[in-house]
Every structure is written in structure tokens, then in C-alpha cells.
Amino acid sequence: MIQSLQSLKSREALPRIIADFLIVHLSMISALAVSVIYQTARGHGPDAQQITSQFSQYYVSFFWLLSPIFPIVFLLNGFYTHSRAYVGKYKILVIFRGVAVAVMLFFAANFLLFGSAQVGRSVAVPFAAWAALGLCSARLLKAWFQRHYDVKPRNRADVRSRLSRVLVVGGAGYIGSLLAERLLEKGYKVRVLDSLVYGDEPLRPVRDNPDFELIVGDCRNIQDVVRAVHGVDSIIHLAAIVGDPACEQDRASALETNYAATRMLIEIAKGNGVNRLLFASSCSVYGTSEHEVNEESPVFPMSLYAQTKVDSEKALLEAASETFHPTILRFATVFGLSYRPRFDLVVNLLTAKASRESIITIFNGHQWRPFIHVKDVAEAIVHVLESSVRFVGGQVFNVGDSRLNHTLSEVAGLIRDAFPTTRVEHVDNGDRRNYRVSFKKLEQRVAFRARYSVQDGIQELKNAFEERLIADYTDLRYHNQRFLKEAGGPGHKNEMDVKVMAAFAGVSVNGRAAEPHGQNGNYKQVVRGS
């Protein structure tokens, strides 16, 4: 309730409040007309005349005094603030719920204050129906016009032009390579900042697009980041050392890339007037829970990787302002094929093993995980990018689909359906991560639902192996931790980068990096290279 009032923009809300107020009054007048016509049609002329006579006095003397109840209830139900972002069936449900509450309060007040002047059921019932129908229809009609006609808002800074330039930091990776292609298809100008640790092959499908630009650089190098951020409207920050094993292998580099570089990017983005920043986080921040978790649930990071995400989220949300709108996207466990394939992800790895070795090992099969196809991740990011900052700015979203919450044993069963000869071995280990995730907020705010099921991803990978599109799934390029172990941790261009990263990590500039410790941003010292 308080949040609704705080986020109210009076100049924008007032016309909608007046419109709803008029709809409520027209609904009452229409209800009278329906009742009179009904009574007349039944041959009850005197009853119809009595209703008309009584209603005239009731409407002028009482309804006008009580009708402000409706816009007040609508306001408190978020009709003019956050619920404007809702779509589809849920939006209709919210409207009907608000109307029902307002109608009940209205008639309760009518009874308490003017008991002798109550409106009859023959008017009350049509009134409630007309009010709900009118309020719903007005909003659906507006949405239809916006979809079918070029309705240009007065405030162009709020809704991004399709010709805006988007920077994708880490755009040559597993998600970024597909996202860059999708953004170009949607008409955006796309700039990618990537060090090309895994090569430039994932970007070859878009390299010749005139709206594509590649800056080969390090997200930890301040000169590279300044050059990349200059002139862009929005930033999608995907760059990270991803996964628990890869982060544990070089904790200092993981901290620099996953946390310190994010803090530096925040300052550079704000200094360049960038309005929006979408940050790739992870549902692994929830750690373990026996209940379904949502964006309001406490986080319980159980690894360095998850802790760097929690600390980066905190830094971004604290940096939010009237001109800088960060959005946190907590991705479910990703699967599926991309231009930069990965086989260190559970669905992809198990499918590859089933295809090539006919045996898979499931660790702690009773544990829950949320899953999402990599193409759906790219689509969800675009949905959020194209949503108004009033509804997604400063917000945290779980990115996935509740239909894709599975236990690891269920995943094994789906894989065995695709590969019937596969033998499944079950093993328990010390991994305590266990979480089912709610994705209702993403569906309600930006109308996103996943297109691909886990079965679809398994079949996609199976086809790729059968068509020999992937020669060897054990190739180092497809495994973050093994590749970085072989190639060595990412080095710095100069000593200044070391000092800048140390400063943004919040430690002394004596050649040390840091390691997250706890959820409050405190750090222990870790000597680089030790």
C-alpha cells in the first residue's frame, strides 16, 4: 500500500483516475437502465417507474458522496502504479479483484451511513458487472492500440527506441552470443565488449551486420570499459567467471571479474548517463531451501560464485537513482545449444554422456533445481529491456519458468526417455544446494514464459550429436573450469588494472585481491597467485 503511494506519479495517474471515476458513474447509470428495461419488459411498469424515481434521488444525494471509494481502492490496489505492468489473465484478475473489494466497501459504507437509502439488487448486481467490464475493457483496448499503432509517448526517455545502442558486456559467451543476435533481429544497434577468451567463433553469425560492433577488451580494464560504455543507452552485463568450480580455481580473478568489475561498471555507466543496466545474477544465490523461493526470499550463497553475485546485486541496487535504473536477473540453471556450447552444465553434460557413453551419474537426485533454455534466457532479457523502467528498474527478477522446476532424478528420467539404453547411477555427496523457484513476478511484469522444456533441450542436443555438429563434448572450449585451468587465469594489461580492481573490491592496493565473506560486503585478504 505504502509502495503504491510512493511510486505514484500524479501527472500521469490523474487522467486515469478521472477516467475510472467516470466509468464507475457510467456503470451505475447503465445498471439503472438495465434494471428499468428488465422490469418494463416483464410488464412491471410501476416497479420500473419506482426504481427510476428512487434512483434519481439516490444517485444525486448518496452515490456521488460514496463514489470516491472506488478510485481510492483502485489506487491502493496499484491500478495506477505497479499493476500497470501486469499483462494477460493476471492483469484481468487484479482488476476484478480491485473492483470486487471496492464494490463490497461501497455497499458496506452505504449500509452503515445511509441504510434507509440502499440501492436494490436489480441495480447493484449489474453495476458491479458493468464496472468490472468497463475498467477491464478500457485497459485492454489501450493495450490493443499500443500493439497495433505507433503510439509515441511524450517522455521518450522512458520507453527506449528500437534504434538505441545496447552494450552487451561478455557478449561472446554462451548466453551473450545468442542475445546479440536476438537484439539485432529486434532492430537494436549492438556493441559487444568481450576479451574473447573462448575465441570469436560464437560471434561470426553477426560480425557482418552493420549494426554490430565488437570491442575486444577486458571488463576489468578501465580504458576498455570507458570506450565501450561511451554512447550507449543501455548495458546488459553478462561478463563473469561462471560456475562454482571455475571460481574456486582462481578466486582472485573471480572476485575481480564478478564483483570489482561490476562496481567499476556502475560508476562508469552513471558517469556516462546510461539509464539502464541489466545484470546477470543466478538463482544459486538462494543456496538451499525446503520451500519455493521468490525474489523476497532470503539469499543463502554457498559458494564464492554465488557470493560475488549477491554482493554485486547489493552494489547495483544501492546505486539506483532517478537517472540510473539497474535490474537484477537471477537466471535458473541454463541448458541447450548456443554458438558457444557448454558441457559443464548439468542437462547438457548428462545428455552428452548418455549419447556417447550410455551411462550417467546423478548426485543427490532428490535435490530441486530450476532450469531454462539458453534461447529463453536471451528472450527474457529482451522482454525486460523493452519494459518501462517504472516497472523493472531497481527490481530483482528470477528468470525461468515454474514448469521447469525439476529434481535431478526427474532430469535423469527425461534423459533416459530420450536414450532408453542409458544406465543411471545415483550418488550422494556434500552438495547441499536445493531450491525450487517461483517465476511469477517475471511472468506478471513482462509477460514472459519459457518456450522450451527440458525435453526440448535434450532432444536438441541429441540431434546435434547425431548430426555430428559437436565432434567431442569433452573439448576444453566447452568447459569453463577445465579451459581456464589449462589457459591460466586472465592476466592484467598493466599494474594500474591491479590497483583499480583492488580499490573496487574494497581492499588495499598492495597487489592483493579479495574474497567475499558473508552477505554484508566484508572481505578477507587473499594473495594473488597463492
Residue 246 to residue 198: CA distance in whole angstroms = 14
CATH number at residue 338: 3.40.50.720
Residue-averaged pLDDT of the chain: 84
**What b/e sequence results for 187-204 when a residue is b if at least 16 CB atoms lie within 10 Å of its CB, and e otherwise?**
ebbbbbbbbebbeeebbe
254 plus 391 within the same structural domain: yes
58 plus 196 within the same structural domain: no
Higher confidence at residue 154 or residue 486? 486
Confidence (pLDDT) at 106: 83
Structural domain including 378 reads 165-342+373-402+435-449+482-487
285 plus 211 within the same structural domain: yes
The average pLDDT across 176-186 equals: 96
In this structure, what DSSP letter does residue 334 have? E
> Is the confidence at residue 407, as pLDDT, over 50?
yes
Confidence (pLDDT) at 494: 81
Structural contact between residues 283 and 289, judged by C-beta atoms closer than 8 angstroms: no
Confidence (pLDDT) at 397: 97
185 plus 312 within the same structural domain: yes
Confidence (pLDDT) at 61: 73
Cell (9 digits) for 263: 562496481
> Is the confidence at residue 502, as pLDDT, over 60?
yes
> Is the confidence at residue 32, as pLDDT, over 90?
no
Cα 217-192-158 angle, rounded to 5 deg:
130
Confidence (pLDDT) at 39: 66
174 plus 286 within the same structural domain: yes
> Is the confidence at residue 19, as pLDDT, over 50?
yes
Query: Tens digit of pLDDT for each residue in 155-175?
Result: 433 444 445 899 999 999 999
Residue 239 to residue 353: CA distance in whole angstroms = 28
Confidence (pLDDT) at 392: 93
> Is the confidence at residue 16, as pLDDT, over 50?
yes
**What b/e sequence results for 128-167 when a residue is b if at least 16 CB atoms lie within 10 Å of its CB, and e otherwise?**
bbbbbbbbbebbeeeeeeeeeeeeeeeeeeeebeeebebb
Residues 6+ apart with CB under 8 A from 245: 344, 480, 481
Is residue 419 situated within a structural domain? no
The average pLDDT across 19-27 equals: 87
Query: Tens digit of pLDDT for each residue in 344-397?
Result: 999 999 999 999 999 999 988 889 999 999 999 999 999 999 988 888 999 999
State phi, psi for 342 to the nearest 5 degrees: -130, 130
100 plus 206 within the same structural domain: no
DSSP sequence for 89-136: HHHHHHHHHHHHHHHHHHHHHHHHH-GGGPPPHHHHHHHHHHHHHHHH
Is residue 439 situated within a structural domain? yes
Q: Which helix (H) or strand (E) holds 395?
A: none
| Spatial CA neighbour of 74 closest among 126, 18, 129 | 18
110 plus 189 within the same structural domain: no
Structural contact between residues 512 and 525, judged by C-beta atoms closer than 8 angstroms: yes
Give the side-chain half-sphere CA count within 13 A for 434. 14
Least confident span in 82-96, 210-224, 426-440, 515-529? 515-529
Residue 477 to residue 271: CA distance in whole angstroms = 36
Is residue 187 situated within a structural domain? yes
Query: Tens digit of pLDDT for each residue in 253-312?
Result: 999 999 999 999 999 999 999 999 999 999 999 998 888 999 999 999 999 999 999 999
- % pLDDT > 70, the chain: 81
Cell (9 digits) for 427: 550418488
Is residue 530 situated within a structural domain? no
CB atoms within 10 A of CB 214: 18
Is residue 297 situated within a structural domain? yes
Higher confidence at residue 427 or residue 264? 264
194 plus 325 within the same structural domain: yes
Query: Tens digit of pLDDT for each residue in 314-339?
Result: 999 999 999 999 999 999 999 999 99
213 plus 333 within the same structural domain: yes
190 plus 103 within the same structural domain: no
236, 339, 439, 452, 457 from 372: Cα distances, Å: 19, 17, 11, 8, 9
Query: Tens digit of pLDDT for each residue in 389-404?
Result: 888 999 999 999 999 9
| Spatial CA neighbour of 247 closest among 524, 493, 480 | 480
Cell (9 digits) for 240: 563473469
Residues in the chain: 530
Confidence (pLDDT) at 86: 61
DSSP sequence for 60-76: IIIIHHHTTHHHHHHHH
177, 254, 349, 468, 515 from 479: Cα distances, Å: 16, 16, 10, 19, 23
> Is the confidence at residue 519, as pLDDT, over 70?
no
Residue 352 to residue 364: CA distance in whole angstroms = 20
| Spatial CA neighbour of 330 closest among 316, 340, 350, 351 | 316
213 plus 338 within the same structural domain: yes
Q: Domain tally for the chain?
A: 2
Confidence (pLDDT) at 11: 67
Give the side-chain half-sphere CA count within 13 A for 348. 23
Fill in the amino acid letter for 289: S
Confidence (pLDDT) at 343: 95
In this structure, what DSSP letter does residue 492 have? P
Is residue 207 situated within a structural domain? yes
| Spatial CA neighbour of 183 closest among 44, 25, 355, 385 | 385
Using DSSP's 3-state secondary structure scheme, residue 355 falls into helix
Confidence (pLDDT) at 369: 92
Q: Which stretches of 332-422 are assigned E, i.e. beta strand?
A: 333-335, 359-363, 368-373, 396-399, 405-407
Cell (9 digits) for 45: 411498469
Is residue 494 situated within a structural domain? no
Residue 341 to residue 24: CA distance in whole angstroms = 56
Residue 390 to residue 188: CA distance in whole angstroms = 21
Q: Which stretches of 139-179 are assigned E, i.e. beta strand?
A: 165-169
Is residue 157 situated within a structural domain? no
Higher confidence at residue 509 or residue 452? 452
- % pLDDT > 90, the chain: 51
Confidence (pLDDT) at 149: 54
141 plus 173 within the same structural domain: no
The average pLDDT across 229-245 equals: 94
> Is the confidence at residue 8, as pLDDT, over 60?
no
**Cα-trace Rg, the chain:** 28
Pairing mode of beta strands 512-516, 523-527 = antiparallel
- 489 burial type by CB count under 10 A (0-12 exposed, 13-18 middle, 19+ buried): middle
Question: What is the torsional sign of CA 400, 406, 412, 416?
Answer: negative
